Structure 1
């Protein structure tokens, strides 16, 4: 009996992780509220977004299985990204010397750095999972959307920039109607590179020293690359649609 207890792996309930994730989210909310003077709207938006993460974890992660350090890192990153998205509508317009824009860009940079940390932890601890990969992917998409909103609100570019953040969600919506779009895509260096390029370009565009013309040109390039990448993936899936149906 004692040997069985000693050999049983130590696990932490996912609810514990969700609670400390909520605590970090609230902390970031108060920091953002101090910078942008909009506590209630940011708190409401952050609460709605974090509730979505809680629902996903409860619905798709086994209660008896440890959440893992890779997923915990993604959750920490998610708490920051959620507040960045919630605060994006309150970004001060360009030209502005407000340090809040710099803080926003630094927050996005930290989220980008953590994106590499969770993947490395998953490989080191041999804890890679479909849930973890999807969790990480959705946080990338949410960060990009938040940065798009921040760029629009800062006045560095027009509403067309939102296409960078909405393209992923349009693909998901199309996949709900067209089953062949749900086929797993192979690993792609091209896809990862363009994703990072999007985030970096958006972060640079938010910075006060970046002129609107430079920001718009760089973002237009990112949009063209993203559209090409999505078209490449959709074509790959379309060519294999019948094989997918017969499997």
Structure 2
């Protein structure tokens, strides 16, 4: 989802430059991710998609020092390096999942998910909180969700329907280009969105350790929550501001 722009304070030139960069990057990356998913289906091999995802993430990571204060560790700050480690672990498990036991993949992914909370804590602890870091963290999450959705479809755990909630972030990014002057609303409330996202994350981990039937039920229920969340956000975005505030 496109990050909400702070309205209480005027943005600096650096922040404005980052907003422009992130808008272009996120839209381009969304197109590439969706096209790569289609190519993966056609050629029955995920390696082109894997390379596209890796190059996109590395490209974003290399741009971080341009839009942040002079933080330590060559301008990236500690938190962004934690996120980079998390992304590296994700790419590792995406490359090796087919040859690893299910419980190993499950534990590996638990570490990836666990580090999701560490980078936020480190950012707050050292005063390195920044929208560009939040966006980097969110993009890693979105890539993991889309990839795991495809893996479970490829393994035959569920049908192709799982690719829709798995791709929502990228579809939502492209949808925002229809009305670029209207920011996406902060709706449903962040706590609700976060809770639904955590449940969806857990449902994507479940097939590695639970029977297929139970995993499919868990995935269907969690996907329904994601459908409702994104659907409510789209409705609030399409409605006039005065009406959406009353939702």
Contact 2:185 2:233 in 1 (8 A): no
* Alignment partners' CA distance in 1, 2:205 and 2:221: 15
Change (3 A) 1:84 1:175: farther
Structure 1: tracts of 5 or more residues without a match: 1-40, 93-98
Q: Which residue of 2 aligns with 1:101?
A: 102
Change (3 A) 1:193 1:126: same
Contact 1:181 1:234 in 2 (8 A): no
Change (3 A) 1:238 1:180: farther
Q: Which residue of 2 aligns with 1:135?
A: 136
Report SS of the residue matched to 1:157.
Answer: coil
> How many corresponding residue pairs?
193
Residues 179-232 of structure 1, C-alpha deviations (whole Å, 9 max, x = no match): 25643636601111111111111101232xx22221111111111100111122
TM-score, normalising length: structure 2: 0.69
Contact 1:180 1:238 in 2 (8 A): no
TM-score, normalising length: structure 1: 0.69
Counterparts of 1:1-247 in structure 2 under 5 Å?
45-62=49-66, 65=70, 66-87=75-96, 91=98, 99-179=100-180, 182-183=183-184, 185=186, 188-207=190-209, 210-240=210-240
* Alignment partners' CA distance in 1, 2:242 and 2:95: 41
Contact 1:163 1:223 in 2 (8 A): no
1:105 CA drift (Å): 1.4
1:100 CA drift (Å): 2.4
Aligned-residue CA RMSD in angstroms? 2.6
* Alignment partners' CA distance in 1, 2:162 and 2:89: 22
Q: Which residue of 1 aligns with 2:41?
A: none
Report SS of the residue matched to 1:61.
Answer: helix
Greater RCO structure (CA 8 Å; 6+ sep)? 2
Change (3 A) 1:162 1:42: closer
Change (3 A) 1:238 1:87: farther
Contact 1:201 1:218 in 2 (8 A): yes
1:153 CA drift (Å): 2.3
Structure 2: tracts of 5 or more residues without a match: 1-44
Residues 152-189 of structure 1, C-alpha deviations (whole Å, 9 max, x = no match): 22222112111221111111111122225643636601
